[in-house]
Amino acid sequence: MAIENLYWKTLKYLESKGKDKTEFKNNIILQNDGDDRGNYINTWNVSGVDKPTDDQLNALASSATTESNNHQIRKKRRREYGDIGEQLDLLYKDIVADKLDTTGEWAKKIKAVKDANAKE
């Protein structure tokens, strides 16, 4: 199990307790010492929330996997959308051509990226 998997399960646990990813900054340290222990939460200093048990984290595995997959898809989309300046140039050309709808080049490019990288 990659440490990333533990991150996403921990994040879903935090969200279920009304917290968000900002809690990770100085309050949570995930670790793997390369031994039989595997990935684990080394430090837990989240105010008002108990450290999760393995069972609590494992119960969130499915939603954590979905969130992780969607995160990777969002990263890929950002790369494929291209530079914001190029996007604005496409939008400007579509406005001038009176194609500020789904027939415009910008809309077609964005749709192609989204279709090729659908979220779960």
How many Å apart are CA 68 and CA 72, to the nearest integer? 6
| 59-76 per-residue burial string, b: 16 or more CB within 10 A, e: under 16 | bbeeebeebbeeeebeee
Model-level pTM? 0.75
Alpha helices (H) along 1-120: 3-16, 24-27, 54-58, 61-81, 84-96, 105-116
% residues pLDDT > 90 (the chain): 88
At 16-25, the pLDDT tens digits run: 999 999 998 8
At 28-77, the pLDDT tens digits run 999 999 888 899 999 999 999 999 999 999 999 999 999 999 999 999 99
